Structures are given as structure tokens and as C-alpha cells.
Amino acid sequence: MNSIEAIRTRASIKKFTDQPVSKDLIEQCLDVAVWAPNHRMTEPWRFCVLIEESRDRLIEIIASQLKSAGHHESHFVNQLVTSLTNSVETDRLKNKIKSSPVLIVVYSLPGNNPVVTKENFAASCAAIQNLLLAAHHFGLGTIWRTAEYYDGPKVKEFLGIPEQAEFAGAIHMGYSNQSQTERKRTSYAKVTNWL
């Protein structure tokens, strides 16, 4: 598969089989990820790979963190904190985090000023795109998810991430268990200005 084909055929996968993904395959994807473009060569990306029981521990920590956090500016987090008292919602959180055999949480380290911090975040997102394309190349399915609870101090401490790092995405990875649907994109012509 060439790079253009990989970009056009990669799709977000929401349903995965239970088949484990080999450590070697995960490492090959991560090795491709770190070749992302990176102004100033700060290499700000940090990856946390969770498999098997480590995902259960992450769920416990997220639930604990949300319940002890109190009021949040985010309506989503307030809803989640309230709903975690409901076992159905707790099960939903578990099902989401454990929806794939592999979960890779990606963070971006801050720079020494706001401009470098922004550049670092962009580079970390480019690393995620490389990771998604590498996984697709190797026959794996992925989905890039975001959720505010990955930015919490207890989660970062558990994952061994500096508190000032910024959450960039949670990548679910595994073998697809869903049929491929046709993807559509707005033509570049409608979103491009030629000057």
C-alpha cells in the first residue's frame, strides 16, 4: 500500500475483535510515529501503551479522579462526574476504554514559551497521524479519541507523564470487527483560497 492509498483508505474503527496485538507490531507503529515533522526537533510526544489489566487500573483512577474533582467548567466533565455514581455509566466508561485490545494515550510536552508549546502540540498530533497510518499499513484498525479526563493529575501520575504535559489523544488499536463504509470528504476546492 502506498502512502496516498493509506491516507485515503484509513478509517476510524469503533468495533474490534478480542485478538491481541503483538508487542512487536505496536512498537513498529510507534517507531513510525516518531518520524513526524517537528520544528526545533523538540520531540515532544510521549506515548503510554495500556493493555490487559492496566486498562482496568486506568478506569479506577479516572473514576476516582472525577469523583474527587468537584465542580468543573466543562459541562461534559460535570455530567460524567454525576453519572459515574450510576453503575450503567461506569460500565459505559469501562466499555469505551476496553473497546480495543490496545490503548495508546499520547501527550505533548510544553515548550519554553507559548509558541514552542503550540508547535509541540502540532508535532504530537502529526505523530498520532503517523501512528494511525502505520497501524493501517499493518492491517490494524484505530480510532483517535479525545476526553478531558486524560488531562487530570491522577491519570498523568499513573501514566508517568509530567503534570504540565497536554493530552493529545487516546488511540484505540486492534483488529477491526466492522465492515468498511465509504468515507466522504469535502473537496479541497471548497476549503482552499488561492491568492
Domains of the chain: 3-52+100-176 (3.40.109.10)
Is the model's pLDDT at 80 over the cut of 90?
Answer: no
Q: What is the pLDDT of residue 63?
A: 85
3-state secondary structure of 104: strand
pLDDT tens digits along 166-186? 999 999 999 999 987 778 899
Cα–Cα dist 125/43, whole Å: 12
Burial class (CB in 10 A: 0-12, 13-18, 19+), 106: buried
| For range 14-28, the mean pLDDT | 97
Residue at grid coordinates 497501524:
135
Flag whether pLDDT at 51 surpasses 60: yes
Q: Residue 57: its pLDDT value, please?
A: 94
**Average pLDDT of span 9-18:** 94
Q: How far is the CA of 151 from the CAs of 14, 19, 49, 52, 161, in angstroms?
A: 23, 29, 16, 22, 10
SS3 40: helix
Residue 72 has pLDDT above 90, yes or no: no
Residue pair 65/59 in contact (Cβ under 8 Å)? The answer is no
Q: State mean pLDDT over 41-69.
A: 91
How sure is the predictor about 150, in pLDDT bands with cuts at 50, 70 and 90?
Answer: very high
Report whether pLDDT(86) > 90: no
CA distances from 147 to 96, 107, 168, 183, 189 (A): 11, 12, 9, 24, 32
Residue that wins the pLDDT comparison between 68 and 73 = 68
pLDDT averaged over the chain? 90
C-alpha span between 42 and 63 (Å, rounded): 33
